[in-house]
Structures are given as C-alpha cells and as structure tokens.
Amino acid sequence: MKDFEIWMEFEAVEPSYWDIENEFCNIQVRMKDGRKYGINVWTYDFLKTAIEYDKKNGYKLDGLYQIPPDLFVKELTRDCIEKAIQDLLDIDNNLERVLNSSIVSQTDI
C-alpha cells in the first residue's frame, strides 16, 4: 500500500484535453503523515515546446534559459507519475530533499 495519494490537474480539468507527451500540469502529493507537496510537472517534450514558445514570443531572452519545473517525466499519466513519486520516496521519504530545490541563499551555505 502506498504512503501517499496524488491529485492530478489533468484528471480533474478536462481529462481528454491533455497531450500526455507534450504538456505540463500541477499535482498535489498528500502523505499519510499529513505532509502535502504541490509539484509542477513537465514532460520532456514540453521543455522543447517552452523554449520554442519563448523564442517565438521574445520571452526569457528569446529562449536563452528556462526556469525548470519541480519534476520532469516521460508522460502525464497516473502510472508514470505515481511510479516517479514512489521512486523518489524510496530514495528519501522527504520529497523536499530529492526534488528540484529552490535557490540557496548565502546564509544557507
């Protein structure tokens, strides 16, 4: 039995609208101990789409950089995301230590 439940935006909002291989979404992971994580998830292909969008529209210095999401996955499916979250939890039961962390201030070094 899993120690977490996941709410996935693509299941709650227009489930047939999403491109599972080229899209982004938000998820919420709720741990049985009460911890909650809001996670921004992108597919690998969406990174390319985001870069092209920024080049076309002159954003982020014409696609020179991207601000990454919290997690990249192959596809936006429950199976893929649950497996990814479970693997991360197997590495460390605190997702904040294994996911993309925010910048570190000098006082943290």
pLDDT per residue as tens digits for the range 6-23: 999 999 999 889 999 999
CA distance 84 to 82: 5
In angstroms, the Cα distances linking 77 to 20, 23, 35 are 7, 11, 23
CA distance 99 to 80: 16
If one counts every other C-beta atom within 10 angstroms of the C-beta of residue 87, the result is 10
Give pLDDT tens digits for 42-84: 999 999 999 999 999 999 999 999 999 999 999 999 999 999 9
The better pLDDT of the pair 105, 40 is held by: 40
Domain residue extents for the chain: 4-100
Return the DSSP state at 98: H
Residue 107 confidence (pLDDT):
55
**pTM score of the predicted model:** 0.88
